[in-house]
Amino acid sequence: MVEPFYAMKCNPDPVIVRLLATLGCGFDCATMGEIDLVLNGLGKELSFSPRGLTHDKLVYANPAKFQNHLEFATSSGVRKTVFDGEDELYKLAKVNDSLPEGQKLELLLRITTNDEKSVCSFSNKFGCPVSQGPELLEVAKKLGLDVVGVSFHVGSGCGDPAAYSIAFDHASRLFQAADQLGMKKMTLVDIGGGFPGDNEGTYRAGMPTFLDIAATVRKAIADFRVKFTADRQLRFIAEPGRYFVSRSTTIATKIYGRKGGMGKTQALYIDDGVYGSFNNVVYDHYHPVPIKLTSALESHDDEESNAQMPTAVFGPTCDGLDQICKQQETMLERAEIGDWLIFKNMGAYTHTASFVFNGYTHIPKKVHCISTVGYDEDSSMSADEDANTRQ
Using alpha carbons only, how large is the chain's radius of gyration in Å?
24
Tens of pLDDT along 9-62? Answer: 999 999 999 999 999 999 999 999 999 999 999 998 999 999 999 999 999 999
HEC profile for the chain? CCEEEEEHHHCCCHHHHHHHHHCCCEEEECCHHHHHHHHHCCCCCCCHHHHCCCCCCEEECCCCCCHHHHHHHHHCCCCEEEECCHHHHHHHHHHHHCCCCCCCCEEEEEECCCCCCCCECCCCCCCECHHHHHHHHHHHHHCCCEEEEEECCCCECCCCCHHHHHHHHHHHHHHHHHHHCCCCCCCEEECCCCCCCCCCCCCCCCCCCHHHHHHHHHHHHHHHHHHHHHHCCCEEEECCCHHHHHHHCCEEEEEEEEECCCCCCEEEEECCCCCCHHHHHHHCCCCCCEEEHHHHHCCCCCHHHHCEEEEEEECCCCCCCCEEECHHHCEEECCCCCCEEEECCCCCCCHHHCCCECCECCCCCCCCCCCCCCCCCCCCCCHHHHHHHHC
Most confident segment among 40-44, 276-280, 306-310:
40-44
Please state, rounded to an integer, the average pLDDT across all residues of the chain.
86
Q: What is the pLDDT of residue 61?
A: 94
Task: Tell me the average pLDDT across 212-226.
Answer: 94
Tens of pLDDT along 111-160? Answer: 987 655 445 555 666 789 999 999 999 999 999 999 999 999 887 655 68
Q: Taking 50 as the threshold, does the pLDDT of residue 378 lie above it? A: no
**Contact present, 135 and 181 (Cβ < 8 Å):** no
Q: b/e string for 94-113 if b means 16 or more Cβ within 10 A?
A: ebbeeeeeeebbbbbbbbbb
Whole-number percent of the chain with pLDDT over 70 = 83
The torsion angles phi and psi of 191, rounded to 5 degrees, stand at -90, 10
Q: What is the pLDDT of residue 198?
A: 67
**Contact present, 261 and 336 (Cβ < 8 Å):** no
Looking from the CA of 168 toward its CB, the CA atoms found within 13 Å total 22
Task: Tell me the average pLDDT across 163-181.
Answer: 94
Whole-number percent of the chain with pLDDT over 90 = 63
Residue 168 CA to residue 152 CA, distance in Å, equals 9
The pairing of strands 235-238 and 308-314 is unpaired
The catalytic site residues sit at 318
Select from 178, 214, 219 the least CA-distant residue to 194: 214
Q: What is the pLDDT of residue 125?
A: 67
CB atoms within 10 A of CB 125: 10
Under the banding of pLDDT at 50, 70 and 90, the label for residue 203 is low
Q: What is the pLDDT of residue 231?
A: 87
Q: Taking 50 as the threshold, does the pLDDT of residue 109 lie above it? A: yes
Under the banding of pLDDT at 50, 70 and 90, the label for residue 389 is very low
Task: Tell me the average pLDDT across 189-206.
Answer: 73
Tens of pLDDT along 321-376? Answer: 899 999 999 999 999 999 999 999 899 888 776 666 676 666 778 888 877 665 45
**Contact present, 188 and 235 (Cβ < 8 Å):** yes
Select from 246, 254, 255, 270 the least CA-distant residue to 352: 246
Q: What is the pLDDT of residue 295?
A: 58
Task: Tell me the average pLDDT across 157-178.
Answer: 88
Q: What is the pLDDT of residue 161?
A: 86
CB atoms within 10 A of CB 23: 10
**Contact present, 266 and 313 (Cβ < 8 Å):** no
Q: What is the pLDDT of residue 157?
A: 57
Ordered by where they begin, the domains of the chain are 3-246 (3.20.20.10), 249-353 (2.40.37.10)
Under the banding of pLDDT at 50, 70 and 90, the label for residue 238 is very high
CB atoms within 10 A of CB 169: 13
Q: What is the pLDDT of residue 338?
A: 95
| Of the candidate ranges 195-199, 206-210, 363-367, the one whose mean pLDDT is the lowest | 195-199
